[in-house]
Amino acid sequence: MNVVDAPKPITRPKAIESAFQAVLASVVVSAAGTVATVLFDRALLTGWVTDTLDSLPPDQRMSVPAMVGAMQVMLGVSIALFAGLFVLFAVKMRTGRNWARVVLTIYTAMGVWSFLTAVASSGAELSLMWSLAEVAFGVTAVIYMFRPESTKYFAEYKERRQHARRRP
């Protein structure tokens, strides 16, 4: 293929950039909220560990502070992996991958459902404000991802990938 035959680059619409930024904001808020409300809440973690250790036979129990420390490390690694995975989904969505748009949409729908059920069961607790911000950014991203110009962008990328596969 020579330079004349090369396809023109697909212009990324502003809505895709806005969706990308909203997903990143959602990831940051989610990670920060989890760190603030769970990871640094030693009383909550101590309660979880104590409840778990109480269900074990006495000869299998470990020290509560050691278990809390181990739990904090595991939670920290999990938060980092989760954030990295969703940044990857956001990057893939930004480059025109429709599957990433679908994954982010499904995750947002589950987040909205989780938030609404939590509010309905417990009222508007302060800890739910992190979830509200995360859901708001997620819904904003979904709206931008499904605007007409965004849908056209994903369709153009899909058509270009399919055309590239058909060429010898």
The Cα–Cα gap between 162 and 49 comes to 52
Q: Tell me, what's the pLDDT at 63?
A: 84
**What's the pLDDT tens digit per position in 90-137?**
999 999 999 999 999 999 999 899 888 887 777 666 567 778 888 999
User: What's the pTM?
Assistant: 0.79
Matching residue, tokens 């330079």? 3
Q: Return the percentage of the chain with pLDDT > 90, whole number.
A: 48
Q: Tell me, what's the pLDDT at 123?
A: 65
Q: Tell me, what's the pLDDT at 74?
A: 92
The answer to whether 86 and 137 are in contact (CB under 8 A) is: no
For the chain, residues with pLDDT lower than 70 are 1-6, 123-127, 168
Arithmetic mean of pLDDT over the chain:
87
DSSP string, 66-90: HHHHHHHHHHHHHHHHHHHHHHHHH
Q: Where are the domains of the chain?
A: 14-166
Alpha-carbon torsion (84, 90, 94, 98), positive or negative: positive
The Cα–Cα gap between 24 and 18 comes to 10
Q: Tell me, what's the pLDDT at 126?
A: 59
- With 0-12 / 13-18 / 19 or more C-beta atoms within 10 angstroms meaning exposed / middle / buried, residue 139 is middle
Q: What's the token pair of residue 56? A: 């074990």
Q: Tell me, what's the pLDDT at 78?
A: 95
